[in-house]
Every structure is written in C-alpha cells, then in structure tokens.
Amino acid sequence: MEVTAARRSFLCDIGMWADRTALHEAASMGRVLQLSQLIDSGSSVNTVTVDNVTALHEACIKGHPNCVRLLLRAGAQVDVRTIHGSTPLCYACTSGSLDCARLLLEHGANVNPSLTTLTPSSLQEACMQEARINSVKFHETALHLATRGGSVELMEMLIEFGADVFYSDNSGNRPRDYAVEGTDPYLCLTFFESNPLSLQQICRIRLRSQLGPRAFRVIPELQISPWIKNYLLFSDTCAQTQSQTKQ
C-alpha cells in the first residue's frame, strides 16, 4: 500500500502524515520479513498516521520485540507520542511486553517524559481535545500502565531505568494508587517509595540518559572494569532488586 495524503507533521516534526501504511500493518502483525523488505525499499520508519501513531507504536502495542528491534535499528524515534500523549514505551507497558519495554529503554526511551511540550497543528489539536474527553487516564506514565497491568517485573525494570514512583497522572494519582493494597505491585511501589535508588544507581541513570542510544557504542570502549561496563549497560538485570522487594 502506498503512503497517501502525506504532509509534514508538526507534532515532534518526526516525519510525514499519512493514512495507515503497509509498514504500520507489518509491524502490527509481527511480520518481520515484510517489515525488513519495506524498510530496505525506502519506507520511512517515522511515518505517522493522523493520530501520530508510528510503526513502532504498532509493534509495541502488539508485543512484537523482533519488529521493535528492527525499527529501532532503522532509526525509529523512540519517544514519539500519539495525540493521547502515549510513547511506544507506554504501549509496550499496556501490552505487558517486557521484551519490547527493555529494547526501548536500552535505546534511550524516556521513562519520565515531559507532557507539556507538545506542539500540534490545528487538526491534531482538535483530535487531542477529543482524546481528553474520551481518555480519563490521559497522561499516564509507563509505570502507571505497568502497575495497572500488574507486572512487577516490568515495574521493577522501569524503576531501575529511572521511572518516578511519585509521578502523578492527570487525575492526581501516583502509580501505587492503581495497585491493590497488599498485592505484589503495591508492595513493590511501597518499597521503592520508602527506599530511594542509591547514588550509584542514580549516576547510572544519569549517564544513560545523556548517552541515549549511543550507550552501546560508547560504554564498551571505556577503560573501566567489565563489571562496571555491565552495570552501566544494565546487564546485571533486576535480580537484586527483585530479591530486595520480596524480603
């Protein structure tokens, strides 16, 4: 399917407006080979629909990590937002895909994105106004969504990458407000609210946020111990954190 009705998008200015394309469809269906062929033939991975959905959003909401990996390697913008303010990371958390979320985080996805810098065109502004009416939980973060989904592993990973446990959505609710008291998600957030990340962890998050996707090229070249390299690359996983929250 050819890209149609294309014109410049002013929301993040990432690419072109278009009807849903073959790239979106392939990403949504998890068709890695077709997606690769479309990219090789010149299809832009940052083409957006009128509601600012990219192929990366599509792959994340359906939980297709292989498609996510392919799109990111081809230059897909990791933090582009829909008219609802949702990033691909939000979509990955909605689908409960730990693999998709990790890929996005490893490529520099912002776990606490600013929600006040949107500069939509008139048409998108009109769409956003309707979105506010129909979406009670507008402006939820990835951590809010992971909490609502009940995935403690996903929640812990987001926090390890710097998700703010005190961030309030447009209803004034923190992530813990969406967890049932006494459940694992509730206990996880209670633990992190009472036990802030260490200075060591904060430094890692700060370094990674500055490097973004370049981290995988820069960190391995540093003249430091392999253990520190693994730590900076989050290769240590969240095992230690999981054991702490269960104590």
Each residue's pLDDT tens digit, 195-228: 988 899 999 988 888 887 788 889 999 999 999 9
Which residues partner with 48 through β-bridges? 17
pLDDT-based confidence at 236, cuts 50/70/90? low
In terms of pTM, does the model score above 0.85? no
Backbone phi, psi, residue 93, to 5°: -70, -35
Q: Is it the case that residue 113 has pLDDT exceeding 80? A: no
Average pLDDT score, the chain:
81
Residue 244 domain flag = no
- Determine the pLDDT at residue 140: 80
- Determine the pLDDT at residue 2: 32
Give the mean pLDDT of 141-170. 92
Residue 214 domain flag = no
Amino acid at 134: N
**How many domains does the structure of the chain reveal?**
1
Find the helix or strand (DSSP H, E) in which 8 lies: strand 7-8
- Helix, strand, coil percent values for the chain (each to nearest 5): 55, 0, 45
Residue 148 domain flag = no
Q: What is the CATH number of the domain that holds 43?
A: 1.25.40.20
CA distance 111 to 106: 11
**Max Cα distance, the chain (Å):** 56
The encoded tokens of residue 162 equal: 């710097």
CA distance 53 to 181: 35
> What range does the domain containing 70 cover?
1-135
| b/e map 174-208, b = 16+ CB within 10 Å | bbbebbeeeebbbbbbbbbeeeebeeebeebbeeb
Residue 164 domain flag = no
Residue 129 domain flag = yes
CB 91 within 8 A of CB 64: no
Give the mean pLDDT of 78-100. 91
pLDDT-based confidence at 115, cuts 50/70/90? low
DSSP tag of 111? S
CA distance 78 to 92: 12
Q: Is it the case that residue 182 has pLDDT exceeding 80? A: yes
- Determine the pLDDT at residue 175: 94
Q: Is it the case that residue 20 has pLDDT exceeding 70? A: yes
Residue 45 domain flag = yes
Residue 78 domain flag = yes
Residue 227's CB is within 10 A of a number of other CB atoms, namely 10
Residue 195 domain flag = no
